[in-house]
Amino acid sequence: MSTVTLGSKDPIDLYVEDSGGDGRPVVLIHGWPLTADAWADQVPALVDAGHRVITYDRRGFGRSDSGDAYDYDALSGDLDVLLNHLDLRGAVLVGFSMGGGEVARQLGTRGDDRLAGVVFAAAVPPYLEATADNPDGPLDDVAIKEMKTGLADDPDGFYDQFTTDFFTADGEVRVSEAKRTKAVEMAGQADLDAALACIDSFARTDFRDDLSLVRIPTLVIHGDADEIVPLEASGARTHEALPNSRLHVVEGGPHGINVSHPDEFNRALLDFIDGL
């Protein structure tokens, strides 16, 4: 484990874990409001397969410092600094939920020179907010504001319910209580201002232009019972927008498919990486 210092003015430290080694680099980008520990079921499988695995806590979450901005230009800027700091080549980016936004914005603004492929896992692109030109967006302005108010008024209660919904499919929580409690603990490490700002970022950012610039092989993996980021409004649309993509649907999968269905998730991920 280490920290990477970002920026020269008012620098922040980003908490990073790097397995090292000479295998293909795989960068795992966690979802909101969790930490790099959310990848506990993926890191060993990837390392055992010979890959170099890098995880990090997003700014304002977990063990990383808070920042002064949480829009996707800032967040993808952190990712870009990390890729360059570690001098990663032929890497695979895996963005879960909110982390899919960093992947999309990285490709849309900085290109794919260091990358061999990308993965959108239960990810928020192409655009969650319902607007006049995005009627299929699953979140309207009222829902977004209610989410922020709920978190601001009662963070503990909000995270307890959110993590329940996170792992629920067809009315049933699909992970152990210990796994859900671990997610609550991760969420509790978030800076509240960061968590609130990131709701606007993942809910209101339009990634359609970013996706139009994706050319490298892409895996879209999504649960068909996702109650947080519905498949039809996100993963399916991302797959349709990317001609060089494959879609893997986890039957009965909730939002947190990497925890609820780790074996299937890991097989799909490794099959994709091995094919690059």
Q: Which of 45, 51, 42 is nearest to 22 (CA)?
A: 51
Q: Which of 207, 233, 203, 42 is nearest to 129 (CA)?
A: 203
How far does CA 264 lie from the centroid of its chain?
A: 18
Question: Is 255 among the residues known to form the active site?
Answer: yes
Q: Are 222 and 251 in contact (CB under 8 A)?
A: no
Question: Is 226 among the residues known to form the active site?
Answer: yes
Question: Is 37 among the residues known to form the active site?
Answer: no
Reported for 157-160, long-range contacts at CB under 8 A and 24+ positions apart, including other chains, are 159/33, 159/184, 159/187, 159/188, 160/184
Catalytic residue among 64, 76, 97, 260: 97
Q: Which of 202, 276, 234, 270 is nearest to 41 (CA)?
A: 270
* Residue 205 identity: T
Catalytic residue among 30, 222, 255, 261: 255
Catalytic residue among 37, 191, 210, 226: 226
Mind telling me the catalytic residues? 97, 226, 255
